[in-house]
Structure 1
Amino acid sequence: MPFKWQYYTLKAISRAVCLLPYPAVLLLGEILGRLYYHTAGRQRRRAIKQIREGLGLSQEEAAAVIKRSFIKLGQTFCEVFYTPALNPDKIKRYVTIENRHYLEQALAQGKGVVFLTAHLGNWEWFGAALALNGFPVADIVKNQPNDQHTRILNEYRQMFGIEIFASGTGEIVRAARALKKGKLLGFFADQDAGKDGVFVEFLGKMASTPLGPAVFARKFKCPVVPGFIVREADGRHRITIQPPIYFADTGDPQADLYDLTVRMTKIIEDAVKAHPDEWLWARKRWNTDYQGSEESR
């Protein structure tokens, strides 16, 4: 581990942040977010370009939304460092869960739950909040380019009992076993899926989209429960759970998988449109070039 020092540096920063009162964490995050907006020119320009194309905003409107988005991202960044300070009492103070009965009823079926979400709000605290509220959480995540960043993030996820499985690896077999045991298996389905994805319209453009959530829902006949976390005006968070959707078997597996993927993508799109300053517009969501129709799927 040639960059092991980075892990210990991040841990030291985290210990310092955990000593701060929560309002100070939010203030520090706001300062960092504003600084990031003014210094990260490439990411800012990409975000503004993509939100203008996706939501039809003017340059001024787009810049205002992206600035708020960067500020919230800075707050999320600082909250991640604050994660070790969380406990059941604090999480209930900082995060509320709406419509948890949808998730409880889905889990009660005993088939596990494909939990559909996206990179909105503080998604790291999303899993922590569900786990600290007694839900059996497992996540399929994409490793960071830097192994030391992955190491600290997974350590913080696992301290709440969250099982972590890396996408694109043999750990997917273990993820399937977790779902079979009746766990909630989280999928972030708003990332570019590369050549392995299927093209689905997302915010007006065709985007390579992962089939994984639909494949798991079909194989295990389990409900898909959408849920998202957003930041309230006071800086705290609200999780909203939506009613479950199901794989519809018409006898054409390929078309049925695509249909469910389209339905899930629409749910994510609606969440992004409802809370545009919560999503990571700087991500390369449309990175894979669309070459033609989906007729050959």
Structure 2
Amino acid sequence: MEKISFRYRAEYAALRSIFWIFERLGREKASAFGGWLARKIGIRLSVHRLAHDNMKRALPGLSEAEMQAALLKMWDNLGRNIAEIPFLQSLLDNPEAVELVGAEYMDTQVASGKSAFFVTAHYGPWELVQVVGKYIKNHSVVLYRAANNPLVEAYFQAMRLDPDNQFYSKGREGAKAMLRAVRDGRAIGLLNDQKLNGGISVPFFGREAMTAPAIAEIARKMEIPIYPMKVERLENGRFRATVSPALDLPRSEDRDADIYEILKRINEVYEDWITERPDHWFWVHNRWP
């Protein structure tokens, strides 16, 4: 059995204490408190400067005041995302809390009997990508980056436990789960906006960004549609999940060119989302070399 370090145990104890407070506050108060706390802490972290530099380079048309306001809202969104984790299942079960737009595209996926990718980013309340599985009810697979702390990871997984969604961390385990899902005709939720050192260099906001190619490789080889999906925060503690039409995927004799073009189109979708609501994207990723 892997030995758990004192640091991991301390982090886990602190997290449990914080989440105990969130649960007793209830979702709305916990969300507000989490947002306030993240705003106070986030702007003091070293990665705040990275987020600022990323935004300045990607969206040079924004004024300094607009960037600072968007970054403050970015931290607010992160804090709310964390505080809302204990309430995810109740949120997903409440159609009045999560408005769903584009359900007809999920109906198309179910009727086809084939698998489909629902691709999103670390944008807004991204944990609510699980709404796909709730709607389709075919044990959708969601791929995510696991927490480094195994105790924290197990705790998060227990809270995410849901008969309509199965979670797998990115890597070998996630790749196998994704291939099984494709064979079984299941939906796959995937966040594909983080840097992957072993990926493919693809433009993102005018700069080359190393991008994970697996979604494009599988989509091209097995003719799996890719539906962009974004989740946004609305007023009064409500949310909107929007599924867009499937991307028009190239299929030529040049495999590498097709994969590159698919990834480029996904990045362009992200660019549109982020330009529209820059406060919704998590800018602290070291996305560019």
TM-score between the two structures when normalised by the length of structure 1? 0.87
Q: Does 1:202 align with 2:204?
A: yes
CA contact (8 A) 1:116 1:224 kept: yes
2:30 to 25, 31, 48: 25
- Corresponding residue for 2:84? 79
CA contact (8 A) 2:129 2:189 kept: no
Q: Does 1:234 align with 2:239?
A: no
TM-superposed CA distance for 1:36, in Å, is 2.1
TM-superposed CA distance for 1:249, in Å, is 1.6
Local SS of the residue matching 1:234? helix
- Corresponding residue for 1:292? none
Q: Which amino acid aligns with 2:49?
A: R
2:51 to 47, 53, 57: 47
Local SS of the residue matching 1:197? strand
Structure 1 residues 5 and 160, CA gap change in structure 2 (3 angstroms): farther
- Corresponding residue for 2:149? 146
- Corresponding residue for 1:130? 132
> Sequence identity of aligned pairs in percent?
25
Q: Does 1:10 align with 2:15?
A: yes
CA contact (8 A) 2:124 2:233 kept: yes
Equivalences for 1:1-297 in 2 at 5 Å? 1-2=3-4, 3-4=8-9, 6-7=11-12, 9-40=14-45, 42-56=46-60, 57-83=62-88, 85-86=90-91, 88=93, 91-127=94-130, 129-136=131-138, 137-194=140-197, 196-286=198-288, 289=289
Q: Which amino acid aligns with 2:111?
A: A
Q: Which amino acid aligns with 1:125?
A: L
TM-superposed CA distance for 1:204, in Å, is 2.0
TM-superposed CA distance for 1:246, in Å, is 4.4
Local SS of the residue matching 1:256? helix
* Unaligned stretches of 5+ residues in structure 2: none
Local SS of the residue matching 1:140? strand
Structure 1 residues 43 and 53, CA gap change in structure 2 (3 angstroms): same
TM-superposed CA distance for 1:86, in Å, is 4.5
TM-superposed CA distance for 1:160, in Å, is 4.5
Residues in 1 aligned to 2:216 and 2:153: alpha-carbon distance in whole angstroms: 26
Local SS of the residue matching 1:163? strand
TM-superposed CA distance for 1:282, in Å, is 1.1
* Unaligned stretches of 5+ residues in structure 1: 290-297
CA contact (8 A) 1:111 1:221 kept: no
TM-superposed CA distance for 1:150, in Å, is 2.2
Structure 1 residues 45 and 70, CA gap change in structure 2 (3 angstroms): same
TM-superposed CA distance for 1:102, in Å, is 1.2
Q: Which amino acid aligns with 2:275?
A: K
Residues in 1 aligned to 2:108 and 2:35: alpha-carbon distance in whole angstroms: 38
Q: Which amino acid aligns with 1:256?
A: D
Structure 1 residues 22 and 144, CA gap change in structure 2 (3 angstroms): closer
**Aligned pairs, how many?**
282
CA contact (8 A) 1:29 1:78 kept: yes
Residues in 1 aligned to 2:203 and 2:266: alpha-carbon distance in whole angstroms: 11
Structure 1 residues 103 and 134, CA gap change in structure 2 (3 angstroms): closer
Local SS of the residue matching 1:164? strand
Residues in 1 aligned to 2:221 and 2:13: alpha-carbon distance in whole angstroms: 41
Q: Which amino acid aligns with 1:251?
A: E
TM-score between the two structures when normalised by the length of structure 2? 0.89
